[in-house]
Structure formats: C-alpha cells, structure tokens
C-alpha cells in the first residue's frame, strides 16, 4: 500500500494515492476525473475550481485534516483577490496534495456536466460539445529551426493538450502572426474537435487568455416556422431562442404545394432555397442581437427538418420526393460548413444535419427519436410528431418502427371554415356542457374563460378571430362528448340535439361556437365539412400508428408521447375521444413539446449523440404507408369517432360517449356504427 | 502444381495460374498487375487493352498456342467494330484465359504509366494522380429500403471499386438525381482519392460512360512571371502551357519592395493578394481556352512559389518575412480548395502547395528538390535556382542542406545600365575576340550572329534594345577572358587594353558593345557599375554555396545543376569564369530548365511525390546565411573574378585567365590580387 496521501474525488468516487505536492488538477487527470481547464493549469481560467472537504469520511475510509491541501500560493491568491472565489473553493491547478483529502468537483467545473431538462421522464443531456477553448503557450520562431508559426501552434496543442492532427483554414492563417505577437506567444484557440471524417480544426484565435465562450445553434426548420436556440457551447445554457415564419410559405402552405411549385416553375426550387437561407440568416441576426453576441462566435449549428425542407435547404430539387419511390438525394447525416449554405455565421462553422429516416420521415423525426429515445424505452412507446405530416415512431429497446402519415393541414387550423394559425384572438380551448350544450372557451392571449368576468375586457385588443389547431380538436371532441356529434361525424340538428346552437348549413348542420356579429366580429361555427377535415386528418394519424402496431403484432401501446409544438396543446382526453391516438391510460399520454428542436439541441451539445442517432436511424425499420394495403382498411375504421372497429377500453374507463346517431339517410355511417357495436 | 493455365504478364513478369474462363483483367487484378480500367470490366472504356503473344517463350518456360485466349465475344467485337482496336490488341476484361499465355500490358494501359522527361539524368514521373474516373452501376431506389441516391452511389463505389469512405460536396448532390436517372442508374464519377487528412471525394458526375478525362494545373508562381502547365490527369500529357507577368510587379519589382509596399500601405498586402489571384484566373482562362477545355474539368492544382509569393497568394501579410527571424506563418504543405483562393476552376478543386523549407527558401526550392532529387544523388550535387533570390541546395543521399542568398535582380538585367528583360531585341549571347577585343553577339528573336550576313535584316523588326540577364553574364565573363576586365572587376582604359571600345566613363571605364546611334538606336555599353552589380550578385550566389560546402566540410562538389528558366541560358564556362559557382568539371554543370515548374508537375501527377517531398523537406537542414559570420568572408573573396581566395583548378584545365590589373590607385583590389597570386 502506498504511503502517499489518498485523494478521493466526489461525485465520481475515483480515488488514488499521489505524492505530496501533486496539484489536484494533475491528480484528477491521472484518474480520468472530469475536471475542466482552459488554461491548462496556469491559474488563469479558474475552470478547475474544486471544494475540499474536511473531517471524518467513514464511507471513504479517510480523515481529512486541516492542511490536507497546500496553503494559497501567489497565483491562486492573486486570482481570488482579482476575480473572487466562492468560499471553500480552491483552484485545482494551484492547490496541491499535502495529506489525505476528499475533493468535490462541482457541476460547473465538469466538462461533461449535465444540462437540466424540464421533463422528469426526459433523458439528461451530457455536455460534449464539438468545440472547446484551449489556452496555449507557443514557442517563438528561431532562424535556425525554421518552422512556421502555425506549425509551432499546432505542436503546442499536441504537447500541452494532446490534440493531434489539428488543422486550420486560411482565415486563421490571416490573423495568426499578429495575434501571436500581440499575445506574447500566448493565445487561446477554439478548436472544433472533428469527427470521423473531419480532422480537428482551429476556428478562432485570441491573443492571451480569452475569457469568453463560443456558441452553437440548434435549428428546427419546419414547413411553417423556423425556430432556433442559441446555446453556450461551454455551459450548455440556451442564451436566446427565437423563431420566424418560413419565408417559403409564399410558394405554398404545405410541403406538396412547394414540391408542385418547383415542378411547375423553372428555377422554383432555387427560389425556395434562397428564401429559406435568407430567412435563416435573418433569424440568426435576430437571435445574436438578442443575446448580444458577435455572429462570428457561432461555430456550430445543428439542423433538423423534414425531407422536403432538407432538400430545399441544401439546394436540391425536391422533385423526386413528390413521387414514388420518394427517393432522397441523400439520407445520411451531413457535415457541412456554413458558407456552403450561405449562412452568415462563422464562415467555417460546422453544420450538422441529422440523417433522414426515409423519403417521408425526415431529420426532424430522427431528432424526435433522439430526444424521446424510443430505442431506449423498456415499455412500448408510440411517439407522434403532429404537424402537416405526422411522423410516427413505435417501439422499445428491442425494435423501433417509423412511418409518416399525410395528415394534411387541418390540425394546424387550415381547411377549417373558421380555422386560423395559433395567434392572439384564436380560440384554443373549448368546453361544452353536456347538458345545456353551451360552450365556453379561451382565446390565445388571455387566461380568462369566455363565461368568466372580465373576458370582454381581456380580449378587447385581440378580438375573437377564429379557431386554432388545438381549438378545433377540442371543440370537435367536446361536441362528440356532448352528444352534438355522432360516431360517424355527423352534427345533429337543433331538433336532434335540443340545442339552438345546431344550425342548418346547406344539407348538413353546424355548431355555433361564437356569434360576434353584434360587435361586427366574425361568427364562428364548426361545420360538418370542418369535422370531416378533422376526421380525415386524425384517421391518417391513427392508421399510421395502427399499421406500425400491426407490424409489431401488438394491439395496444404502453404509452404515447405527443411531440410537436402543437402536441403540447392537445389534451390526452380530447385526442383519444377523437381516436387520434390508440387507446391507452390517459396518464400515459404525455407531451414532449418541440421534441425535434430538443433533439437538435442534444446533437448540438453532445457530439456523441450524433453518432448515436446515426446508428439508431440505421436500425429503425421504415414502413411506407402508401403501399400498405391495411392502411386503407385502418383509415376507413379510423374515420369514425373514435373508431368503428377498435375498442377504446381505457377511454371507456374514464368516460362514456353518448350513443347518438344523426344519420337520416342510412348507408356507410349506419354500417360502421353497427360494426362498432358488434365489437363493443 | 496447378493444372490451370499459366498467365505471364510483361513487362512486370508477374505470373499465376488461373482457371479456364478467367478474364485477363481479373487475373491482372489478382496478381497486382497494373492494368487500367474505368468501366470496371464492362467492355466500354477499352482502357484495359492488352496484347497476347504467341509461340515459344523459353525465358518464361511457356508455349502459347493459338486459342490461348477466348474467341472474340459480342461485347469485344462490338467495341472493335465501333471504335477500332490496334491489330493484335484485345480487351482485357472480355478476353478470357483458355491456355498458357503471355500478356503484354502496353504503357497506355497502365494506370501508373511513366511520363517521359526530356533530360537523360532526370527521374521519370510515375503517374499516380489525385483524381481518377470510375464507371458504376447504382442500385435503384426502393420504397421499402429507403436510402438516399447518394448513399447507393457510395455503396456502388465501395462494392465495384473498393473505394471506401467516399464523400461529396453539395454541388454533386444538386445534380445527382437527374444525372442518375438520365444515365439509367449508370454513371461515371471523377473521384479525388483523398490524402492523409481528407477523405476521397466525388468531384464530377456524368450520366452513363464518360469518354473524357479530367485535368490538373502545375503552377510556378514567380515574383516576375506566373507559368502554368495544364496536364491530362489520366495520360500525364501536358495539353497546354502558358505564362503571364505577375501583376504584382506594379507594386514592386522584387520581393523586398513588395514586402515594403505592404508595410507602407494599409491593405497593401490585400491589394497584392487580389492582383495575383486575378492574374492567376486570367492565366487559367487563357490556358483552358488554348486547350479547348471547360475550366470546371480542372480538379487539381499544384503551386510552387517563394515564401513572399506564398504568403501573398494565401492572403497572409508578408510583414514577418521582411525582418529577422523571418518567421513563416505556415511552413508545411497545404491542401486547400480552389474557392478558398478565389480561383475560377472547379470550385472544389484541390490546391496543393508544396512546403516551404525556411523563411527565405520557399516551396519553389522544395519543388526544385523534388525535381532534381539531391537527396537521391550518389554524388555530391549543388543545385542553384538562379533568380532574384538564389535558392541553393547541396547534398547527396546522406544529407541535404539548403540556403537562400540575396542575389538581387542584376542577373535578370535589372540595375544594369543597358539591362532589360529577356525579350526580342535583347542581346543574349556575346563573344569577344581575345586578340582584337571586338565583340560579336546575338539578340533574342534571331539565330544570326552580329558579324554574320543577314544580321541587319534579321533584327530589322526588333532592333537592338539592351542586354538581358544571360547576356550580361556572358559579356562580363568574355571581358574578363579577353583581358578587358581584371580580377578585381575594373575595366581597363583604351590605353591599358589597346581597344578603342574601352571608353572613359567618369572616373572609370566602360566597354562599348554596340553603337546604334547612327541608326537612332541605343548605344549599349557595359559600365564599371554594371560589372559591380554582377560582382555583388555572383558573390552572393557563390558565398551561399560555399557556406553550405563549409557546413558539409567539403572543398569541391561533384556536379552543379543550374535551375531556373534563366539557368537554362547561362553557359557553364561563363558562370565559372565569373566565379558564380564552385569550380568543377565543365561537363558536370548542367541546366535543369524550370526545375521548380517540373517539381510542381511531378507533385501534380504523382501524389506519392507529395508525401515524399514533405518528408524530404523535413530532413533538409536549413542554413540562414544572414547570421553566418563566414558568409561575409566568402562574399569578400567571391567579389573578385572569379575569386580572390579559392583556386579554380578545373577551370584552369580549360582556359587561362589573363593576369591583368587595371587598378591605378592601389588599395583593396591590389590587396586581393596579391592574395590570389599567393594561393595560385
């Protein structure tokens, strides 16, 4: 047994004996303890702060006495006097071992610290960013050993940081000589650590010690909106978030209309590429301004998007994605540079685009898979990312299946008579009293329900302008629960329902949700065609999920995750009343928020996650709904509310849907009604 | 022993037994015989042509009977009918082994064929270009196995050509889908095979079989001129050569004046960077037009240049090169892309810049080392690249030393009273009769000597305008040989020399070479300041060489190679009379022409040569003349013609220099004269 003092690190529990006088940073490195340092032990950066603990530690079998660490030396004292140190903290590179000691490494001193995620069930993000800062001291030039300044810098990185094969671009060479001399041959460099196919590369250089950080962007490029998070690549913190409308909207609301635009207009794809890149640059300028940082400090960016957005962003004509066999130009993850995509951040910033799963299941779905990790789930999880196209993942740690289903834009309020985007003034929440069949609702911009005091004042500025996506789902589900709508999707008449709000609308009926005519505002109704649009959309979503269940030969799932900004606003109950998702206990339906965006942020902050998701995507089995015969059958059944063939036993535990039927002409609806009853 | 037929390949001598029916190309590949193929054995490209030999081959122990190869099949016959084949040739991929056979692989069917060099002593260039063409058949997309078109192309390259890790840039992705479909899933790709730090990359893609080639540029970027060779990367042939003046000349004639320009003018370095890149692009447009090719087919380029040109071309301020310790921003070889240097060829074309040896010994010297290979020489060779700065290499296979010596522009006709650039009308050759002391000469643009019939007519259009660099060296050497000039560099008076051509010129004398005043032309004299300028230049050159000899502790060299376009025009005798180069047998002094340009071409055509010269440069020992005390001593001795301290025994075997002395004032010249006499 060594007579050298014992050093125990917490929380890792790593321990070892070290000679008296060994700096704590050195001991940590030798044991592989995760202790940060940018200056390489020169007492400049203070990233290696640690907290010694004193007293008895029976758990570690050690007693730590006063004097277990060295006295404060001049460097450490100078740092404390100038910059301050939290009480009890020491600089790991200056404090040396004098006796047995227990050393705590606080989270902020760990390179691979964990980033907090709000949701309890979500995996933590472990920091492992692409780019790190290194302070180095470079040998001065010597006429008798003529090597270049760059070569001596690279040698210093190898020697002082064990970074080998580091390369650089011309922009660094352009500033290298003056910066080295200004810093007195001491510089800080930001090094992109490279990946399987790219060597490490110097991205930035500063004279002396650079007391700052570098940034990365996690970008969710949607058909409708582009959302970005600007992250500190050292702390992992989101320093600013921002979003804009996708400027491609002027070429078509949904994906297929954009593909058509490109087919019908020569150079249309290039127009759309320019538009999205310009939008992206506007967004980046905005987000950098918001955070008050120089855009050149953005050295890494991760993008997720669906295949059509993916191709258009890359400047590839999406023509082939518009027709079978939906061939992607490229499906693998891509590592590019910002300049290749005309992005005005650091010109050599790396751009990582997650892999596409299939022609209809894009990098956004891969990002959802990274965030929600169905491939790591013990129980069988269904993850649906609800948007214009729904991407669906089903599986557990044994196997994951994926498909896409063309839900259309109804869930986003499009193709709905009073539909609108989620914006102030839009009805987002609805309840209908099952007895009086009277509605109450809330509009975006106010927390007050329409039947509460102060509602009129609260909405005075926005007015009531329409129904947004989550609102239309709620109102249709509430109509069904209140007996205004039957299982086949027909709205009853005033006579059949006993509610004067059911008004005739051509050959069908509509439900009057709000009559604003007295104030010169809109009259908002839910028409039978609106219900049909929702039926088609939810049937497409359900059928995709059901098809994957068939493939796995299961009849139920253990839990459902609703992803997408939209998913965050759908209540589990309403979704299941509509039969959007398979039956499952309501408390097992959770919302993941913008899981695609979160996946992008994970890939940005942890480069290991990139390798991981690439492997996951390769292992995911892709199902093409368009060529599956059973999809049609599921679709027909799923057109009923909730479903004409599937029982919803978990839903039945919570509520009973009124057995109404408003079909007066017989036929299909009657038929499907029968089937459902037979099975129940 | 195998009972399968024996196949013997010539010239390699490789041999093996193969089952009846084995295609010759397959046999060649299994034996590692160098047999070309672009189409991968599909009978399309005809690059694998071979010649079977019939009869007795006692040397190989084999008898080849008729029928040793298969009959012509349909594919082979179709090729012959359509494109023709040289008599006796077969397609190696179609003809199969039927019996023992001897197969000759003609040079044009070898990938690693050798490129002929004109000089007997020069090493051959073995073809091993960066970029090759590959024909592949790509799997069609399948909805059930959703991979991208690019991923299937990359898989095809791996499967059909064993090329792994191939990557691509966006510009290929942009055209990939239509090209694959146009070619019916058969395409030809040009793949840059990569290097230590870059993966292989697809540079071009054509539908179907592409019956063309790709090109590379070997560029010698000199202070005065930029010269480029456009080479076919398959055959190695130079398809066009062209040159332009370096547009940076307007900022300063020589290197140091350009460094000064950058020091004195803010942004001056950037102006010069723009100028040289614009010049480069003009040159590339010109050379591509000359060859009648699309510039986008230029996929590789190699540049050699001195350190100041190197830094300015890269956009680096050459400030540090203007002062001790002459620190290079970067010394290693560089692999860049054309776009990084604003070069208008293939945007992703690779640019390779040879390593610099030291702050004064650039990539051009490295290229000379590659071309002349002193590191492979059995005997001790001195290689001097004569220009504004002379780069000097001395060594053999055991060790090579390098230095640079500031000769100044006198050797290029600058700072000479009647000096001019080598252009029509310039005197380039001079002889002086040692008895009559009358000169005769030749001017650029005519082969007729001035004392021959027809001279006046021959020079009628150009006139006689001045003396170029080689002319001034010749005339000074001839003056010394004719006794018009003494060892100290003084021109004798008419009285002292007995020649009325020696005319008084202030306090010294001048030699009248040509009196054009009768025709209104210039009067061309060689003045004593002209001789001084040549003395300074040649003393610098000699002292550098002598310093390297000191370092190697030798008193003589076995041979001398004069490199540089200028070196090609200097006669060995005149150079040695002047004492420009160390004494050695005259027939051991050879000219290598533009060795730097040749080195660039070698590095272009053979990527192995790049690795080789990088290792060579690392091993070369650099001597900085500026800090060597002995340099000054050598310089003083070498100011005399040929030298006041060194004997020139080999020169003495060929001619005796007149022992004249025109010093009338005593002092230094007398002194050095005495020293020389004591030693002789």
CB contact under 8 A, A327 and B624: no
What pLDDT is recorded for position A627? 80
What lies within 8 Å, CB to CB, of B314 at 6+ separation is A170, A173, B273, B329, B330, B334, B341, B353
pLDDT band at A414 (very low <50, low <70, confident <90, very high): confident
B305 within 8 A of B313, measured Cβ to Cβ? yes
Which tokens in the block code for residue A106? 């606080």
Check residue B388 and report its DSSP letter. Answer: S
Which tokens in the block code for residue A549? 């269940």
Share of chain A above pLDDT 90, in %: 80
Of chain A, the end-to-end C-alpha distance in Å amounts to 74
DSSP E strand stretches across A599-652: 621-622
DSSP per residue, B226-269: EEEEEEETTT--EEEEEEEE-GGGGG-SSHHHHHHHHHHSTTHH
CB contact under 8 A, B197 and A167: yes
CB contact under 8 A, B331 and A624: no
User: B330 contacts in A (CB within 8 Å)?
Assistant: 148-151, 173, 176
Top-confidence residue, A549 or B117: A549
Residue A104 CA to residue A7 CA, distance in Å, equals 11
Q: What is the β-pairing status of strands A15-17 and A6-10? A: antiparallel
What pLDDT is recorded for position B665? 61
The full set of domains in chain B, from first to last, is 6-109 (3.10.20.30), 129-207 (3.10.20.880), 215-356 (3.30.420.480), 381-406+544-596+618-679 (no CATH), 410-533 (no CATH)
B160 within 8 A of B177, measured Cβ to Cβ? no
What pLDDT is recorded for position A390? 87
Return phi, psi of residue A475, to 5°: -65, -40
Identify the residue among A168, A311, A327 best suited for mutation to test binding to B, counting B beta carbons within 10 A and taking the highest: A327
What pLDDT is recorded for position A1? 56
User: B144 contacts in A (CB within 8 Å)?
Assistant: 622, 624, 627
The helix/strand/coil state of B204 is strand
What pLDDT is recorded for position B362? 92
pLDDT band at A675 (very low <50, low <70, confident <90, very high): very low
Q: Is the peptide bond before A642 cis (omega within 30 degrees of 0)?
A: yes
B379 within 8 A of B373, measured Cβ to Cβ? no
CB contact under 8 A, B624 and A357: no
Residue B326 CA to residue A187 CA, distance in Å, equals 21
Instruction: Give the closest of A151, A317, A332 to B332, CB-based.
Output: A151
pLDDT tens digits, residue range A204-241? 999 999 999 999 999 999 888 899 999 999 999 999 99
Residue B36 CA to residue B48 CA, distance in Å, equals 5
User: B353 contacts in A (CB within 8 Å)?
Assistant: none
Classify residue B632 by burial, with Cβ atoms within 10 Å: 0-12, 13-18, 19+. exposed
CA atoms within 13 A on the CB side of A67: 0
A223 within 8 A of A239, measured Cβ to Cβ? no
DSSP E strand stretches across A122-192: 125-126, 131-137, 167-168, 186-192
State the SS3 of A498-524: CCCCEEEECCEEEEEEEECHHHCCCEE
What pLDDT is recorded for position B517? 86
What is the longest distance spanned by two Cα atoms in chain A?
Answer: 103
A366 within 8 A of A599, measured Cβ to Cβ? yes
The helix or strand, by DSSP H or E, that contains position B78, with its residue range, turns out to be helix B74-83
Of chain B, the end-to-end C-alpha distance in Å amounts to 74
Distance (Å) of CA B540 to CA B477, B545, B620, B622, B632: 17, 9, 21, 17, 9
Distance (Å) from the C-alpha of residue A258 to the closest C-alpha of chain B? 17
Residue B479 CA to residue B282 CA, distance in Å, equals 43
A134 within 8 A of A188, measured Cβ to Cβ? yes
Residue B510 CA to residue B504 CA, distance in Å, equals 6
What lies within 8 Å, CB to CB, of A518 at 6+ separation is none
Return phi, psi of residue B63, to 5°: -120, 125
A39 within 8 A of A50, measured Cβ to Cβ? no
* Nearest one of B557, B593, B554, B595 to B576, comparing CA atoms: B557
What pLDDT is recorded for position B120? 63
Residue B361 CA to residue A41 CA, distance in Å, equals 38
The mean predicted confidence, pLDDT, of chain B is 92
What pLDDT is recorded for position B669? 43
User: B622 contacts in A (CB within 8 Å)?
Assistant: 144, 146
User: B142 contacts in A (CB within 8 Å)?
Assistant: 325
What value does the mean pLDDT take over residues A434-444?
95
Distance (Å) from the C-alpha of residue A286 to the closest C-alpha of chain B? 27
Cβ-based neighbour number of residue B379 at 10 Å: 11
What value does the mean pLDDT take over residues A95-117?
90
Which tokens in the block code for residue A457? 């004042």
Identify the residue among B146, B308, B313, B340 best suited for mutation to test binding to A, counting A beta carbons within 10 A and taking the highest: B146
Lowest-pLDDT range of A60-69, A501-510, B245-254: B245-254
User: B327 contacts in A (CB within 8 Å)?
Assistant: 141, 148-149, 177
State the SS3 of B130-143: CEEEEEEECCCCCC
What is the longest distance spanned by two Cα atoms in chain B?
Answer: 103
Q: b/e per residue, A10-25, with b = 16+ CB within 10 A?
A: bebebbbebeeebbbb
Angle in degrees, CA A512, A514, A520, rounded to 5: 125
The helix or strand, by DSSP H or E, that contains position A218, with its residue range, turns out to be strand A215-221
User: A622 contacts in B (CB within 8 Å)?
Assistant: 144, 146
**pLDDT surpassing 80 at residue A117:** no
Identify the residue among B182, B327, B363 best suited for mutation to test binding to A, counting A beta carbons within 10 A and taking the highest: B327
| CA dihedral sign, ordered A309, A311, A312, A318 | negative
What pLDDT is recorded for position A121? 64
What pLDDT is recorded for position B581? 94
Instruction: Give the closest of B173, B314, B356 to A314, CB-based.
Output: B173
Classify residue A67 by burial, with Cβ atoms within 10 Å: 0-12, 13-18, 19+. exposed
Q: Look up the pTM and report it.
A: 0.87
What value does the mean pLDDT take over residues A328-332?
96
Strand partners for A447: none
What pLDDT is recorded for position B521? 83
Instruction: Give the closest of B148, B169, B319 to A332, CB-based.
Output: B148
CB contact under 8 A, B141 and A327: yes
What is the ipTM for the molecules in this complex? 0.87
What pLDDT is recorded for position B440? 96
Identify the residue among B139, B140, B142, B143 best suited for mutation to test binding to A, counting A beta carbons within 10 A and taking the highest: B143
Which tokens in the block code for residue A335? 């590592």
What is the spatial order of strands in the sheet that B101-104 belongs to? B15-17, B6-10, B101-104, B49-53, B90-91
What pLDDT is recorded for position B1? 55
B106 within 8 A of B50, measured Cβ to Cβ? yes
A226 within 8 A of A284, measured Cβ to Cβ? no
**pLDDT surpassing 60 at residue A666:** no
Instruction: Give the closest of A146, A170, A327 to B328, CB-based.
Output: A146
Identify the residue among A177, A202, A332, A360 best suited for mutation to test binding to B, counting B beta carbons within 10 A and taking the highest: A177
Share of chain A above pLDDT 70, in %: 97
DSSP per residue, B537-560: HHHHHHHHHHHHHHHHT-S--SEE
Low-confidence ranges of chain B (pLDDT < 70): 1-2, 120-121, 665-680
What lies within 8 Å, CB to CB, of B402 at 6+ separation is B357, B358, B361, B365, B369, B391, B392, B393, B394, B548, B620, B621, B622, B623
pLDDT tens digits, residue range A601-633? 999 999 999 999 999 999 999 998 878 889 999
Distance (Å) of CA B16 to CA A376, B13, B26: 54, 10, 12
The mean predicted confidence, pLDDT, of chain A is 91
B540 within 8 A of B390, measured Cβ to Cβ? yes
Which tokens in the block code for residue B441? 């000469």
Q: Which residue of B has its CA nearest to A358?
A: B146
CB pairs under 8 A between A and B: 142
């Amino acid at each position: 047994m060594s007579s050298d003092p014992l050093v125990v690190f917490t929380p890792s529990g790593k321990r070892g004996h070290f000679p008296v006088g060994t700096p704590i940073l050195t001991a940590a490195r030798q044991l592989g303890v995760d202790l940060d340092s940018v200056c390489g032990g020169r007492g400049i950066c203070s990233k290696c702060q640690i907290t010694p603990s004193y007293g008895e530690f029976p758990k570690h079998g050690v007693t730590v006495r006063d004097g277990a660490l060295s006295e404060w030396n001049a460097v450490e004292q100078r740092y404390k006097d100038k910059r301050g140190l939290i009480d009890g903290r020491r600089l790991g590179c200056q404090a040396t071992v004098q006796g047995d000691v227990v050393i705590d490494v606080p989270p902020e001193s760990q390179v691979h610290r964990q980033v907090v995620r709000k949701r309890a069930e979500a995996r933590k993000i472990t920091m492992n960013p692409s780019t790190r800062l290194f302070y180095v001291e470079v040998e001065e030039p010597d006429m008798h050993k003529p090597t270049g300044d760059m070569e001596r810098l690279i040698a210093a990185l190898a020697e002082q940081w064990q970074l080998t094969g580091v390369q650089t671009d011309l922009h660094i060479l352009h500033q290298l000589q003056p910066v080295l001399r200004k810093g007195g041959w001491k510089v800080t460099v930001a090094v992109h650590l490279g990946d399987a196919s790219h060597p490490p590369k110097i991205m930035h250089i500063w004279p002396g010690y650079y007391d700052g950080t570098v940034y990365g962007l996690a970008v969710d490029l949607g058909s409708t909106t582009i959302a970005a998070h600007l992250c500190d690549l050292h702390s992992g913190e989101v320093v600013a978030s921002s979003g804009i409308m996708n400027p491609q909207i002027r070429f078509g609301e949904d994906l297929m209309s954009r593909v058509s635009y490109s087919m019908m207009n020569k150079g249309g794809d290039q127009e759309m590429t320019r538009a999205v890149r310009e939008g992206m640059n506007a967004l980046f300028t905005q987000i950098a301004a918001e955070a008050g940082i120089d855009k050149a400090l953005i050295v890494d960016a991760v993008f997720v998007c669906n295949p059509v957005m993916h191709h258009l962003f890359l400047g590839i004509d999406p023509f082939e994605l518009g027709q079978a066999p939906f061939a992607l130009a490229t499906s693998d993850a891509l590592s590019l540079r910002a300049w290749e995509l005309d992005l005005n951040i650091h010109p050599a910033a790396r751009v990582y685009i997650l892999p596409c799963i299939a022609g209809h299941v894009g990098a956004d779905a891969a990002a959802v898979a990274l965030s929600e990790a169905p491939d790591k789930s013990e129980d069988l999880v269904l993850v649906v990312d609800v948007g214009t196209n729904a991407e669906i993942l089903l599986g557990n740690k044994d196997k994951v299946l994926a498909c896409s289903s063309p839900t259309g834009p109804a869930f986003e309020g499009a193709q709905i008579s009073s539909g609108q985007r989620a914006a102030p003034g839009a009805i987002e929440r609805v309840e209908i009293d099952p007895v009086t069949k009277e509605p109450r609702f809330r509009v975006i911009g106010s927390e007050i329900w329409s039947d509460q005091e102060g509602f009129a004042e609260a909405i005075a500025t926005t007015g009531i302008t329409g129904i947004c996506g989550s609102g239309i789902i709620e109102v249709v589900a509430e109509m069904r629960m209140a007996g205004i709508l039957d299982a086949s999707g027909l709205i009853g008449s005033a006579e059949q329902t006993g509610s004067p709000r059911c008004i005739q609308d051509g050959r069908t009926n509509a439900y009057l949700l709000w009559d604003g005519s007295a104030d010169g505002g809109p009259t908002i109704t839910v028409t039978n065609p609106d219900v049909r649009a929702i039926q088609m959309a939810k049937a497409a979503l359900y059928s995709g999920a059901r098809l994957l269940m068939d493939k796995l030969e299961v009849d139920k799932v253990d839990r459902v995750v609703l992803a997408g900004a939209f998913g965050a606003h759908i209540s589990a109950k309403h979704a299941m009343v509509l039969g959007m998702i398979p039956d499952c206990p309501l408390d097992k339906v959770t919302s993941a928020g913008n899981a695609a965006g979160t996946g992008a942020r994970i890939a940005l902050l942890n480069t290991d996650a990139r390798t991981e998701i690439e492997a996951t995507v390769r292992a995911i089995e892709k199902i093409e709904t368009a060529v599956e015969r059973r999809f049609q059958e599921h679709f027909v059944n799923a057109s009923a509310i909730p479903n004409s063939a599937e029982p919803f036993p978990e839903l039945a535990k919570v509520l009973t849907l009124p057995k109404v039927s408003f079909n007066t002409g017989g036929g299909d609806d009657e038929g499907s009604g029968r089937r459902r009853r037979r099975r129940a």
